[in-house]
A and B are shown apart, each in its own frame.
Chain A
Amino acid sequence: MSGQQAFVDALLDFGPANQACPSGLATWNHSDPARRFAVYRNNVMISLIDALADGFPVTQELVGEAFFRGMARQFAIAHPPRSRILAYYGRDFPSFIETFLPAASLPYLADVARLEMLRVLAYHAADRETLTRDEIGAALADDSELTRRCLVLHPSVAVLQSNFAVVSLWGAHQGLGDIAAVDPTAPQTALVVRIGLDVNVVGIDAATGRFIGRLIQGATLADAAIYASTAEPRATEFDLVASLGVLLRWKTICEFSAFSEFSAPGTSER
């Protein structure tokens, strides 16, 4: 084992007793290196919990700070960071919440956390110019291949299909609507999209969500429309004009592109 690996293992040893201290450490004042190292180890843990608290503010408000920090600690022990980018820390947090027994009484909590992670990802997604109204008009004019076109959507665009009222739950914590009036068990679909520096959370119907989700995966316009109108279970009737309206209103369309097998559904992950 390399010295660096031993150091890392000791740093992430959050077990209760007799925590490991890497050998060869010295202190300037001859105090116990294990105690000094424990301060460092604690700072690592606190910073990870703080990072999760920053990224999942509504999740924290739903369960309270004490519960959240306890849950975040358990997560950090089980899932130490794999990347140096702290902004993305917590991608696995929603799945962890789903299996975290003490939170089982709030079945919607994991999806609220998923929505919050999508917002972080949208905030940091690449910039890309979207088409203006005139450019879209020009692209539509005289395009006999339109059914075989794919839409390249803005890199921040994501869809979350939930069995719970994620949009209302999240919105109530932004001062939009009354939390007491929200039925958490009403299924909702969220569109996440960034315009400028503003990340928007938009409630859309399930069929529109399927349509946009399919487009993100690289399906053609025609395939996405057929999928949205036929996929089971039939939650809502698919309205093509309304769905395209959502894409236009939220300025999501970057390009009309030719269909590519390599980006077709089932052959790629986003």
Chain B
Amino acid sequence: MNKPMTAAALALAFGAAMTVAAMPAAAQDKMSEKEKCFGVALKGKNDCKAGAGTSCAGTSKIDNQGNSWSFVPKGTCEKTASKTSPTGFGQANEFMEKKV
């Protein structure tokens, strides 16, 4: 960059970047598009509010453990297969696993 940086040049660069870097709507607010889903996490892969290393994340002992949950895209929980769930799918609340 050999020319001096002006406010106008910076604003222009930002403007160009904004058109290139279209922010996908999906990235706008990921949290609101996810929901807790019980019974679909593989063992050791469950999410946890407090996060890895501090508490319960990654502590589930079996696949599809009924009282451990994962964040999943909203609307997909009860369509996600869970071999331990009485309904056969993930649930919004914890449940007792059925024997498989």
A is bound by B:
yes
Residues of chain A within 8 A (CB-CB) of B20 are 241-242, 245
Check A62 for interface membership: any CB of B closer than 8 A: no
C-alpha spacing A195/B28, complex, angstroms: 9
Check A251 for interface membership: any CB of B closer than 8 A: yes
Interface of A is mostly: helix
B27 adjacent to A251 (CB under 8 Å): yes
Residues of chain B within 8 A (CB-CB) of A240 are 1, 10, 13
Give how many A residues have a beta carbon under 8 Å from the other chain's beta carbons: 41
Which of A16-24, A91-99, A139-147, A152-160 lies at the interface with chain B? A139-147
C-alpha spacing A144/B9, complex, angstroms: 11
Check B34 for interface membership: any CB of A closer than 8 A: yes
Known: A120-B52, A123-B52, A195-B30. A229 touches B1 (CB 8 A): yes
Give how many B residues have a beta carbon under 8 Å from the other chain's beta carbons: 28
Interface residues of A in 1-56 (CB under 8 A from B): 51, 54-55
Known: A133-B18, A226-B1. A140 touches B11 (CB 8 A): yes
Interface residues of B in 13-46 (CB under 8 A from A): 13-18, 20-21, 23, 27-31, 34
Interface residues of A in 222-258 (CB under 8 A from B): 222, 225-226, 229-230, 238, 240-249, 251
Q: Which residue of the partner chain, among B5, B11, B23, contacts A133 with CB atoms under 8 Å?
A: B23
Interface residues of B in 42-94 (CB under 8 A from A): 47, 51-54, 58, 71
Considering the complex, give the chain A residue whose CB is closest to the CB of B5. A222
B53 adjacent to A55 (CB under 8 Å): yes
Check A269 for interface membership: any CB of B closer than 8 A: no
C-alpha spacing A66/B20, complex, angstroms: 47
B11 adjacent to A249 (CB under 8 Å): no
C-alpha spacing A165/B10, complex, angstroms: 32
B interface residue numbers (CB < 8 A to A): 1, 5-7, 10-11, 13-18, 20-21, 23, 27-31, 34, 47, 51-54, 58, 71
